[in-house]
Structure 1
Amino acid sequence: MVSNTPTFFALLASTVGAYAASASIGLPPELFSPLIAQKIATIAAAIPSPMMYPQYTDRVEGVWQYFKPDEWTTGFFPATLYAMHQRAQLCPSTNSGDAAQWLQLGREWSTAEVPLEQTNTLGHDVGFVSYPFMLELAVDPDNTTAQAAVNAFAADLAARFDPIVGCTRSWDTADPTDFQVIIDNMMNLQVLFASYNLTKNQTLVDIAISHANKTMENHIRPDGGSFHVVEYNATTGAVVARFTSQGYSNSSTWSRGEAWGIYGFSNMFKHTGHIDYLNTARKMAAYWIENTPSDGIIPWDFNAPLVPPRPADSSAAMIAVNGFLLLAEQELSVYNLVGAATYVAEAIRMLRLNTELAWRPQWQSLLANGTVNNPEHNNLTGIVYGDYFFVTAGNQLVEMGLASC
């Protein structure tokens, strides 16, 4: 693996600079706006009672809509507070707030998640809910509450694994032989690796690898696009159907699912070094780049018709920005400097153009133009995970030496 030396990152920055100049791209000034800390701190200071978590905003005034803790999006606002803790450490001389205060808020907002370790209806989505606890362990590896949460959530996910299918079950159905897997689940595999780091239980890694291999085989099309849902027969392990739940059609590529895949397979390569995962992430990234409209705005589905106007999904864009940056880091690990620079330049271009579209100073969320679920007409909103990945993108660029606060 390439060491993160200043010299190597300086070379990357120089190469990216040349790509960025040729594409006339640059970072959006809003990425380090003082409004980020102000907005997030205002929401964090008003802790609901009983505890509720922001998920998406209304479409008119950008006011957060709150939901009970037992939702797949619960972990994202606490995770955003941890991201702001990192931001304050990376940018101590700017308007990023006090690092210790952000950490305290992150811990307070995570508290209501702890009972979910024992009883939840989240199924495979325990991976998303575990984000704050994995981030806590990055701050304090000896935090026993966070360790217990990570191990409990990993056990929940592992219990959904079927060795015949080779995957963890995503959605429960009335028919036990109907085994449905969604591409989103690539993001939940991280908790298995986090628990392995604590327990050295190799079975957790084996489950992650098996699930990723089956997803690679059955969710990814030859052109790099992806199916949202693959239905298996739990008795035989055979593929019964491939379809969508939130995309335009069964043969289309739902952009948020594609973003999950780019990030998820890049992360699998990071953890395992298996080259097939890197090649799959490259293949999906190539599809993304080739199908991004000329204006750079990411649609909710790449194959949805242009008329009537298809809504954008700023959350898919921000997830993909993070996925491209993670993929770039993996390219550095195999000494592919040009590949790394290409992905970083694309990430920066996407970040700038989609921020220009979606930045809303007057809203409670950082960004608008998110699509929660277009078939249910839930679009043009702020989304909590879109904001989270917007903040983490800025942090990652600073860590890579490609941005300054």
Structure 2
Amino acid sequence: MRLFTLVAAACLTGSSWAASVPAELFSPLVASKFLQTAQNVPNPVQYPQYTDRSQGVWQYFPADYWTTGFLPASYYALHTRFASLCPNSSAAQQFLDLGRSLSAPEVALEQHTTVGHDVGFLSFPFVQELAVDSSNQTAVTAVNTFATLLADRFNPIVGCTRSWDTSDPTDFQVIIDNMMNLQVLFDSMALTGNTTLRDIAMSHADKTAQNHIRPDGSSYHVVEYNSTTGDVIRRRTAQGYADNSTWTRGQAWGIYGFANMYRNTNESRYIETARRMASFYLSQVPSDGIVPWDFDAPLDPPRPADSSAAMIATVGLLMLSQQEASLSPSNTTGAQYWSNAAIKLLSDNTAFAWKPEWQSLLSNGTVNNPASPPNNLTGIIYGDYYFVEAGNQLISMGLASCSGNSTSPASPSSSIQPGQQHTSGAPRTRRMWLL
């Protein structure tokens, strides 16, 4: 395997890479807010997706939506934290019970769902349940059923699983987000031994790397194929600023998705793609460290931030760091580079978006800025989920303790306050070599 060693030059402008793990990751508010949300869940069960913009109150939606799995998955993540990382047996059991009860309404989606490719996200709590109880047949059935639903969307001519359904069957649309759904195929393969699921995942990832990722490591949101020829018809965006811009949440999905493909396959092309996407991401983060909704969106009118994109990228960078460390020989320079970058990204965006008085953990998320009206400046359930995951990963990596202490020196926090639009201009300059 070819070993890439990342060496970052010290010529940064704006602020230092040195940063401390934000104490908010382990604040008592994390657990208490999720406990309060569980009490507020409607009956029949609906799930929070985002908050209102003024008071941070969760807005609830029926189960048949792509974000449904994130609330129960958050309870499983907190169970993991209190079961092993920061032991508290009563809290661990409480969060496990909540994860199980709030994932139960998803079972009906095995028979009928409109979320299409996003069944991978729906599988999250069931995969986490199997980590607790591998004999749970309800969870086994859910993972295998969701994997089958995703595999049924695979077109061997295109080489991808279809993302969005269209009225024209020849218009085969694939979005960068779909990299995140491939994990359910590997999870089902582990349960069934069906290696065809692995082949589908790798084909989809290879085509995505070929057609979504630009030479500089940035990404298109949507690629439309002709389903009968496999030819690319169009590259565009649906939630970014422009077809040729880089929507930051999509870029974050890509970092995580390709790093995860390497974790599942050990194929070097996937970690190389994750590195390229991560390098581009970090090169575009403005000098204040706050991730905007789209890296290429103009500053006038002020562009909104997206804390959810920052949290997803953080977890993707931490995964990439762990993979660099696991190489033989270990790429310790690369591992430290990505983990330092992840902590800096996490620290800056937590300082900006932490909102104690809201029902969500974080504010300043952008759901869909091109929507009419724009859906931004909110808390977002998947932003909160990856915030919790970031804390768990940092403890697992020995980079933080349950009290929030970090092995890295502290740096000044952002001066921008929650609820503001993101108006920073030129990105920091950074040089990087791949040797």
Shorter-chain TM range is: over 0.9
Q: What residue number does 1:166 align with?
A: 159
Q: State which of 49, 65, 79 in structure 2 corresponds to 1:55.
A: 49
Q: TM-score, structure 2 length as denominator? A: 0.87
Residue 236 of structure 1: SS of its match in structure 2? coil
Counterpart AA for 1:173: T
Q: What residue number does 1:384 align with?
A: 381
Give, in angstroms, the shift of residue 135 of structure 1: 0.7
Q: What residue number does 1:135 align with?
A: 128
Q: State which of 349, 368, 371 in structure 2 corresponds to 1:354.
A: 349
User: How many angstroms apart in 2 are the aligned matches of 1:172 and 1:209?
Assistant: 22
Counterpart AA for 1:298: V
User: How many angstroms apart in 1 are the aligned matches of 2:251 and 2:18?
Assistant: 26
Contact 1:37 / 1:97 at 8 angstroms: preserved in 2?
no
Give, in angstroms, the shift of residue 46 of structure 1: 3.4
In the alignment of these two chains, the number of paired residues is: 385
User: How many angstroms apart in 1 are the aligned matches of 2:322 and 2:375?
Assistant: 34
Contact 1:86 / 1:99 at 8 angstroms: preserved in 2?
yes
Counterpart AA for 1:27: V
Query: Does 1:66 pair with 2:60?
Result: yes
Give, in angstroms, the shift of residue 307 of structure 1: 1.4
Query: Does 1:194 pair with 2:211?
Result: no
Equivalent residue runs for 1:2-81 within 5 Å: 23-81=17-75
Q: What residue number does 1:396 align with?
A: 393
User: How many angstroms apart in 2 are the aligned matches of 1:232 and 1:261?
Assistant: 19
Q: State which of 219, 222, 225 in structure 2 corresponds to 1:229.
A: 222
Residue 370 of structure 2: SS of its match in structure 1? helix
Instruction: Specify which structure has the higher proportion of helix.
Output: 1
Counterpart AA for 1:378: N
User: How many angstroms apart in 2 are the aligned matches of 1:220 and 1:299?
Assistant: 20
Q: Closer, same or farther in 2 for the Cα pair 1:93/1:271, shift >3 Å?
A: closer
Q: What residue number does 1:262 align with?
A: 255
User: How many angstroms apart in 2 are the aligned matches of 1:134 and 1:384?
Assistant: 19
Residue 305 of structure 1: SS of its match in structure 2? coil
Contact 2:150 / 2:161 at 8 angstroms: preserved in 1?
yes
Q: In the TM superposition, what whole-angstrom CA distance separates every residue of 1:297-316 from its partner, at most 9, and x where no partner exists? A: 00000111111111000000
Query: Does 1:321 pair with 2:314?
Result: yes
Compute the RMSD of aligned alpha carbons: 1.4
Query: Does 1:341 pair with 2:340?
Result: no
Q: Closer, same or farther in 2 for the Cα pair 1:152/1:28, shift >3 Å?
A: same
Counterpart AA for 1:183: I
Q: In the TM superposition, what whole-angstrom CA distance separates every residue of 1:151-180 from its partner, at most 9, and x where no partner exists? A: 000000000000000000000000000000
Contact 1:90 / 1:398 at 8 angstroms: preserved in 2?
no
Counterpart AA for 1:51: V
Query: Does 1:121 pair with 2:114?
Result: yes
Contact 2:259 / 2:316 at 8 angstroms: preserved in 1?
yes
Q: In the TM superposition, what whole-angstrom CA distance separates every residue of 1:290-332 from its partner, at most 9, and x where no partner exists? A: 1010110000001111111110000000000000000111111
Structure 2 unaligned runs (5+)?
A: 2-14, 403-435
Give, in angstroms, the shift of residue 29 of structure 1: 1.1
Q: What residue number does 1:363 align with?
A: 358
Query: Does 1:298 pair with 2:295?
Result: no
Q: State which of 169, 181, 184 in structure 2 corresponds to 1:176.
A: 169
User: How many angstroms apart in 2 are the aligned matches of 1:35 and 1:272?
Assistant: 38
User: How many angstroms apart in 2 are the aligned matches of 1:171 and 1:162?
Assistant: 13
Q: Closer, same or farther in 2 for the Cα pair 1:172/1:22, shift >3 Å?
A: closer
Query: Does 1:280 pair with 2:273?
Result: yes
Q: In the TM superposition, what whole-angstrom CA distance separates every residue of 1:106-165 from its partner, at most 9, and x where no partner exists? A: 000001000101111111010011100011111111110000000000000000000000
Query: Does 1:85 pair with 2:79?
Result: yes
User: How many angstroms apart in 1 are the aligned matches of 2:32 and 2:85?
Assistant: 15
Residue 189 of structure 1: SS of its match in structure 2? helix
Counterpart AA for 1:99: A
Q: In the TM superposition, what whole-angstrom CA distance separates every residue of 1:253-293 from its partner, at most 9, and x where no partner exists? A: 00000000000000001111111101000000010111010
Give, in angstroms, the shift of residue 90 of structure 1: 3.6
Residue 181 of structure 1: SS of its match in structure 2? strand
User: How many angstroms apart in 1 are the aligned matches of 2:127 and 2:103?
Assistant: 11
Q: What residue number does 1:372 align with?
A: 367
User: How many angstroms apart in 2 are the aligned matches of 1:281 and 1:129?
Assistant: 24
Query: Does 1:149 pair with 2:142?
Result: yes
| Structure 1 moving runs of 4+ over 6 Å | none
Contact 1:311 / 1:369 at 8 angstroms: preserved in 2?
yes
User: How many angstroms apart in 2 are the aligned matches of 1:388 and 1:378?
Assistant: 19
Q: TM-score, structure 1 length as denominator? A: 0.93
